[in-house]
Structures are given as C-alpha cells and as structure tokens.
Amino acid sequence: MTFTDRRDYIRQTYATETAAQKKARESLTDPNDQISIHPEDGRFLQCLIHLAKVKTIVEIGTLGGYSALWMADALPDDGLLTTIEYDPRRAAIARDNTKHEKKIKIIEGDALTVLPQLSQDGPFDMAFIDADKLQYGHYLDWAEENIRKDGLIICDNAFLFDAVWKDGPVDRVRETARRIMRDVNTRLADPEKYHAILLPTVEGMAVAQKRF
Ligand SMILES: C[S@@+](CC[C@H](N)C(=O)[O-])C[C@H]1O[C@@H](n2cnc3c(N)ncnc32)[C@H](O)[C@@H]1O
C-alpha cells in the first residue's frame, strides 16, 4: 500500500465533496491556482470545528474559496468565517463560488493591513493560516493576540514543500521562508503555550490549541 492508496481511500470514504466544493475546485483552472487544501484536509478542519465548538474563524488566504466552503459547512447557523485574499482575480472567483453561503465573508486586501482592523471584532475561535509563507511569523503574532484561550491556530504548508527539515538549497524555497516556518513550528510546539502537533498531511498541517 502506498501513500496515494491511503489518501485515495480516505478521500473516498471520509471526505466526499459537496457539489459546491467540487464546483469551487473545478473553477480553478489556472495551473498557478492548484494550491487549495485537499478534501481530507477540509474534512479534518470540519472535525476540529465541531470538536472545539468553533463559531468564528479567520482564514488568511482565500484563493477560490475551497477551504472556506469546507469550514463554513461545519459552522453553526450563527457562525462566521472571515477570509482574506489580496489577489482581485482570485477574490472574484471566491465571491462567485461562495455566493450562496451566508456564513462566509470575503475581505479583499493584504492580510497584513486587514488583520489589525479585524482585531476589533475578536477574539475569534480559530485562525486558519494559508497565505504567503514569508509572513507566517506575523500571522502567528496576530493569532496569538486575537484567538481566544482554548481556541485553535492552524497553519497549512508547515512542511514548506519538504524544505523545513532539509539543510541545503531546495528548489523555489527561499532560505528566509525556511527560517520563518521552522520558527513558527518551534513556537507552536511549545507545550507551555499550546497543545499542538504537526500532522503529516500532504503539505503538513500544524494544529495548535492555545493554552493562554
Ligand atoms: C494556498 S492559497 C489559499 C488556498 C485556500 N486556503 C484553499 O485551500 O482553498 C494562498 C492564497 O493566499 C493569497 N495571499 C498571499 N499573500 C497574501 C496576503 N498578504 N494577503 C492576503 N492574501 C494573500 C494568495 O493570493 C493565494 O490565493
């Protein structure tokens, strides 16, 4: 049995897409847009949302709204997912893909500018960090301030395309990004501050519950 066999089995049995999720994934035809989470990641996020009774989520990095649709499906009727996307083309695709979902609010803009403005609506129950890797440290700083005690901070791509544990140069990964991702993982792994683990998903997903 290979990793792909396992992944396919999990997708088929536990992580079937809704029609809206499938349509959102298929709407991303540009090769540069093939960077959404995977269905099993979406289902895992839903389980976390149910287990931790999450009602409010801030997502950094919307793309076409695929992960937002997965997460919003797990929120209660009065829940809200606010998701930030700075690329106008992608934000427009996401608005179209999520137009029937009242629990998703898309903010078009740079997360570094939008997040401080969002703080007034917090604290939030969960942050899903899935945008530019060079800013992960800043996103974690924001989440540490604005996610409530016992809330969740999730970082996707925590393997940094398999560069995080390597020492030499890795194609298309900047050394600064590797330093930042290692620092983020070290911060989340602090047992005094978080109950956390880096899960071996395709991209690596760091999952942390805040203890302070
Ligand atoms: C990996 S994709 C997000 C995928 C999405 N979460 C999903 O799984 O469906 C990262 C997105 O973050 C956006 N992004 C990158 N830097 C950003 C920033 N500083 N502010 C807002 N969005 C940003 C990119 O344009 C891209 O669409």
Summarize pLDDT for 127-140 with one digit per residue, the tens: 999 999 999 999 99
Residue nearest atom 7 of ligand 1, based on CA coordinates: 36
The CA distance from 146 to 143, in Å, is 5
The CA distance from 32 to 177, in Å, is 19
Ligand 1 atom nearest to 64, measured from its CA:
9
My answer on whether omega of the bond before 88 falls inside 30° of 0, hence cis, is no
Q: What is the dihedral of CA 41, 45, 47, 50, to 10 degrees?
A: -170
Give me ligand 1 centre to Cα 207, in Å. Answer: 18
Residue nearest atom 11 of ligand 1, based on CA coordinates: 61
CB of 39 closer than 6 angstroms to any ligand 1 atom = no
Q: Of 135, 131, 133, nearest to 170 (Cα)?
A: 133
Q: What is the pLDDT of residues 99-136, one digit of tens each?
A: 999 999 999 999 999 999 999 999 999 999 999 999 99
Q: What is the pLDDT of residues 16-75, one digit of tens each?
A: 999 999 999 999 999 999 999 999 999 999 999 999 999 999 999 999 999 999 999 999
pLDDT of res. 128: 99
Burial (Cβ within 10 Å: 0-12, 13-18, ≥19) of residue 205: buried
Ligand 1 atom nearest to 156, measured from its CA:
1
The three-state secondary structure class of 161 is coil
CB of 110 closer than 6 angstroms to any ligand 1 atom = yes
Residue nearest atom 25 of ligand 1, based on CA coordinates: 87
CB of 144 closer than 6 angstroms to any ligand 1 atom = no
pTM: 0.97
Average pLDDT, whole number, for the chain?
A: 96
Task: Go through the domains of the chain in sequence order and give each one's CATH number.
Answer: 3-210 (3.40.50.150)
Assess whether pLDDT exceeds 90 at residue 4. Answer: no
Residue 114 near residue 158 (C-beta atoms within 8 A): no
Residue 188 near residue 206 (C-beta atoms within 8 A): yes
Assess whether pLDDT exceeds 70 at residue 1. Answer: no
Q: How confident is the model at residue 172 (pLDDT cuts 50, 70, 90)?
A: confident
Per the model's pLDDT, the better-predicted residue between 2 and 53 turns out to be 53
Residue 210 near residue 148 (C-beta atoms within 8 A): yes
* Strand pairing report for 80-85 and 124-129: unpaired
CB of 61 closer than 6 angstroms to any ligand 1 atom = yes
Q: How confident is the model at residue 148 (pLDDT cuts 50, 70, 90)?
A: very high
CB of 58 closer than 6 angstroms to any ligand 1 atom = no
Q: Of 78, 24, 58, 36, nearest to 153 (Cα)?
A: 58
CB of 41 closer than 6 angstroms to any ligand 1 atom = no
